[in-house]
A and B are shown apart, each in its own frame.
Chain A
Amino acid sequence: MKTAYRTAVHDALRDALRDDPRVLLMGEDVGRYGGTYAASKGLLEEFGPDRVRDTPLSELGFVGIGIGAALNGLRPIVEVMTVNFSLLALDQIVNTAAALRHMSGGQFSVPLVVRMATGAGRQLAAQHSHSLEPWYAHIPGIKVVAPATVEDAYGMLGPALADPDPVVIFEHVQLYNTSADIETLVPTDICRAAVRRGGTDVTVVTYGGSLPKALDAANELSLAGIDCEVIDLRVLRPLDDDTILESVRKTHRVVVVDEAWRTGSLAAEITARVTEGAFYDLDAPVCRVCSAEVPMPYAKHLEQAALPQTPKIVAAVQSLFGERP
């Protein structure tokens, strides 16, 4: 049976609310409207306004409420409409949620889950379309995950709620409509990267909304005789170096696909770790495919041109092979 990513997110929320009375969901439009991306449709009706709460348009306020709820024993899931808006709550997430365990000498923990949509591709322009995951991945004290598959859309929420520290979940807007044949959705993990496609010639490291593009590129390249291994990071903090380095030692070539801007990006971090950990295994420079360094354009053709796309990934991979004999 086909299951959509959106449905998987919904089912994960529903199962969490059902299985643990401490869990609550709050955010802008999560209740009556059913969620900006319809991920919480019907949950208000099923669990009532104590468990599923619409909030005012104040990220600073409702993320702070979530932290307070977590400190007091609840397991809140706070939805922020997009990562762009989450900047209003950075103080809560970075200065409070991430730091409180350390600032309190371990007396307090903040078992908070913050979900937010990220990424471009829906003509939502510079107000709603950026990929700021690398900023969050920079912060010690939180975990940052990016489910890119239907399985993870369902499976990562449970472990995130079980984690005693804040976990930020990034759901790429282009993924909600994707689907997969899945019998039963089960919890996964929030610690390892996953090899989504095995290969021997080049490692393509990516995450979130770029994973389908990378897999398309890998299929296309296989016709040209280039066997790509595609790694889905899944967890952006802490990074699973072992999976990446093990792959690089096998393939000797790396392309990092990251929808964020190249400068100071996760792609930059992964490049650095590859050169630190596998320099003598590299047979070509590490290559990055990132978004153009502009605020995301509204015009469709410009937006598409600014984003990493399958042809760009194909070209980047080919550039690592020179004259292939």
Chain B
Amino acid sequence: MIEFTMPSLGADMDEGTLDQWLIKPGDKVTRGQVVAVVETAKAAVEVECWQEGTVGELLVPVGETVQVGTPLATLLEPGERAQKPSGRRPHKPQPAARGAAKPTTTPAAPAPPVGAPPAAPGHRRWVSPAARRLAEHLKVDLDAVAGTGPQGAVTINDVEHAAAATPPPAPAAKAPAGKTAAERAAERGAQMRQAIAAAMSRSKREIPHYYLADEIVLESALSWLTTRNAERSIDERILPAVLLLKAVGVAAQRFPEFNGFWRDDGFQPATGVHVGVGISLRGGGLVAPAIHDVPDKKVTELMDDLTDLVARARAGSLRSSEMSDPTITVTNLGDQGVDTVFGVIYPPQVALVGFGRPARRVRVIDEGIRIVSTVQATLAADHRASDGHRGALFLTAINELLGQPDLLEK
């Protein structure tokens, strides 16, 4: 039997809320199939399953928030027979029945005859009726409240503490069903802010960044694009951003110490190059989902991928692999008008390449003064994984690739 668990959709994700099941017991699941929609702090994400089998049991109901790693469903491997449902429900371990263990003032006193049975492993979260009502009234998210009552139940006291800890206008709460779209969006915005705060704090706390910058002359790249785009219809035209992505991807393949993860005090190079694309969202905040296997894709494919990715990121329907897979990130603030961006690495990645605004600038080229289009490329890299010397070569490689756009077309 295979357990399908809540995936980690990024370093900043501890838990997710199951929004929708797209499978039911008995369904056949193929590798890569989208089986569920999970809501994280950042977005509603379509979660893929990477194993084949038949769905046995769905263990987590829609609307429930569970920790990363919690089994969500069981899959039967081909040939395996269905067992009867285990009835098991994954959950955070509940504290044992406290009434029985609590020391009483008189040692001779036997355990009190509490009416409720001892905490069974498979019950729904225990919230006292009064606490539930109060939470609704105070708009406190019960999933975020730790229970300190009998047998770990959430009590009035717990809700009041949670309410006091949460400033009313900035609910840290997840969106339970029944809220308006605007409320859900506002809550998600607040959560995203927190998620970004957590990831970026970790980055600046743990990662010794070093920064390099290089000016890239885009003349050949842009004229190449102009020529190519002239042959295409408007909606097939390639944006310069795609060439930049491709150049970073190809360069990262050549310089593997910028493509991977710093984990457990060591660098783990990634097997493929999946470039995370920083996408700012209309409601505020950003996500950096991956375009997979960038060096192996044609620029036309990358253009399609980018268009699709941006649309889905803004619609809040990304896939789990896109959230969890980036091996290096590209951020492009050119549209916002800045010349240069010094990025913050998204842990556990080890490098981030930034591009500023491409502009016509006066430069000395071939001993002559010329007006050319240039862009400021920067590299923020993890000094634990690489050194400035290699970083400089990496940036230079991107520069050179953009000078030979034919190499990028494939």
Q: Which residues of A contact B (CB under 8 A)?
A: 220, 224, 252, 262, 271, 279-290, 309-312, 314-316, 318-325
Picked from B115, B147, B152, B153, the residue with its CB within 8 Å of the CB of A286 is B115
B109 within 8 A of A: yes
Interface residues of B in 108-167 (CB under 8 A from A): 108-116, 128-133, 147-153, 155-157, 161
A281: B residues at CB distance < 8 A = 129-130
Q: In the complex, what residue of chain B is closest to A271 when comparing beta carbons?
A: B115
The CB with the most chain A CB atoms within 10 A, among B116, B128, B151, is that of B128
A85 to chain B, nearest CB (A): 29
| A288 and B113 within 8 A (CB) | yes
A-B contact list, 25 entries, CB within 8 Å = A281-B129, A282-B128, A283-B128, A283-B129, A283-B131, A284-B128, A285-B114, A285-B115, A286-B115, A287-B112, A289-B112, A311-B106, A311-B108, A312-B110, A312-B112, A312-B113, A315-B111, A316-B114, A319-B102, A320-B150, A321-B149, A322-B147, A322-B150, A322-B152, A323-B148
A307 to chain B, nearest CB (A): 12
| A322 and B153 within 8 A (CB) | yes
A290: B residues at CB distance < 8 A = 113
A220: B residues at CB distance < 8 A = 105
B256: A residues at CB distance < 8 A = none
Picked from B109, B110, B115, B130, the residue with its CB within 8 Å of the CB of A288 is B115
Inter-chain pairs besides A280-B130, A312-B113, A318-B112, 9 sampled, C-beta below 8 Å: A252-B128, A281-B129, A282-B128, A287-B113, A288-B115, A289-B113, A311-B104, A321-B150, A322-B151
Q: In the complex, what residue of chain A is closest to B157 when comparing beta carbons?
A: A325
B334 within 8 A of A: no
| B116 and A285 within 8 A (CB) | yes
Main secondary structure of the interface of B (DSSP, over half): loop
B363: A residues at CB distance < 8 A = none
A74 to chain B, nearest CB (A): 45
Interface residues of B in 243-258 (CB under 8 A from A): none
A164 to chain B, nearest CB (A): 39
| B155 and A314 within 8 A (CB) | no
Query: Using an 8 Å CB-CB cutoff, how does the interface string of B193-222 with A read, 1 for contact, 0 for none?
Result: 000000000000000000000000000000
B5 to chain A, nearest CB (A): 30
A315: B residues at CB distance < 8 A = 99, 102, 104, 106, 109-112
B232 within 8 A of A: no
Interface residues of B in 231-282 (CB under 8 A from A): none
A322: B residues at CB distance < 8 A = 98, 147-153, 155
Q: In the complex, what residue of chain A is closest to B111 when comparing beta carbons?
A: A315
A303 to chain B, nearest CB (A): 15
Q: How far is the CA of A281 from the CA of B102 in the complex (A)?
A: 25
| B115 and A252 within 8 A (CB) | no
Query: Using an 8 Å CB-CB cutoff, how does the interface string of B179-204 with A read, 1 for contact, 0 for none?
Result: 00000000000000000000000000
B182 to chain A, nearest CB (A): 29
Query: Using an 8 Å CB-CB cutoff, how does the interface string of B337-367 with A read, 1 for contact, 0 for none?
Result: 0000000000000000000000000000000
- On whether A311 and B131 interact (CB within 8 A), knowing A289-B112, A320-B150, the answer reads no
A310: B residues at CB distance < 8 A = 106
Q: How far is the CA of A289 from the CA of B105 in the complex (A)?
A: 17
| B152 and A314 within 8 A (CB) | no
Picked from A224, A252, A309, the residue with its CB within 8 Å of the CB of B105 is A224
B236 to chain A, nearest CB (A): 61
Q: In the complex, what residue of chain A is closest to B159 when comparing beta carbons?
A: A283
A262: B residues at CB distance < 8 A = 113
| A284 and B112 within 8 A (CB) | no
Q: How far is the CA of A322 from the CA of B100 in the complex (A)?
A: 10
| B104 and A318 within 8 A (CB) | yes
Q: Which 6 A-B pairs have the closest CB atoms?
A: A319-B99, A311-B109, A311-B106, A316-B112, A322-B149, A315-B112
B128: A residues at CB distance < 8 A = 252, 282-284
Q: How far is the CA of A285 from the CA of B152 in the complex (A)?
A: 12
- On whether A325 and B114 interact (CB within 8 A), knowing A282-B128, A314-B104, the answer reads no
| B161 and A318 within 8 A (CB) | no
A289: B residues at CB distance < 8 A = 112-113
Q: In the complex, what residue of chain A is closest to B126 when comparing beta carbons?
A: A285
A324: B residues at CB distance < 8 A = 148
The CB with the most chain B CB atoms within 10 A, among A262, A314, A320, is that of A320
Q: In the complex, what residue of chain A is closest to B106 when comparing beta carbons?
A: A311
Q: How far is the CA of A153 from the CA of B161 in the complex (A)?
A: 46
B125 to chain A, nearest CB (A): 14
| B115 and A318 within 8 A (CB) | no
A13 to chain B, nearest CB (A): 38
Query: Using an 8 Å CB-CB cutoff, how does the interface string of B59-74 with A read, 1 for contact, 0 for none?
Result: 0000000000000000
B158 to chain A, nearest CB (A): 9
A250 to chain B, nearest CB (A): 11
Q: In the complex, what residue of chain A is closest to B152 when comparing beta carbons?
A: A322
| A280 and B129 within 8 A (CB) | yes
A283: B residues at CB distance < 8 A = 128-131, 149, 155-157
B386 to chain A, nearest CB (A): 48
Q: In the complex, what residue of chain B is closest to A304 when comparing beta carbons?
A: B108
A318: B residues at CB distance < 8 A = 99, 102, 104, 112
Q: How far is the CA of A289 from the CA of B108 in the complex (A)?
A: 15
B116: A residues at CB distance < 8 A = 285
B149: A residues at CB distance < 8 A = 283-284, 320-322
B106: A residues at CB distance < 8 A = 310-311, 314-315
Q: How far is the CA of A244 from the CA of B99 in the complex (A)?
A: 24
| A287 and B105 within 8 A (CB) | no
B153: A residues at CB distance < 8 A = 284, 322
B145 to chain A, nearest CB (A): 13
B110: A residues at CB distance < 8 A = 312, 315
Q: In the complex, what residue of chain B is closest to A285 when comparing beta carbons?
A: B116
B112: A residues at CB distance < 8 A = 287, 289, 312, 315-316, 318-319
B132: A residues at CB distance < 8 A = 280
The CB with the most chain B CB atoms within 10 A, among A281, A311, A318, A319, is that of A319
Q: How far is the CA of A309 from the CA of B100 in the complex (A)?
A: 17
B129: A residues at CB distance < 8 A = 279-283
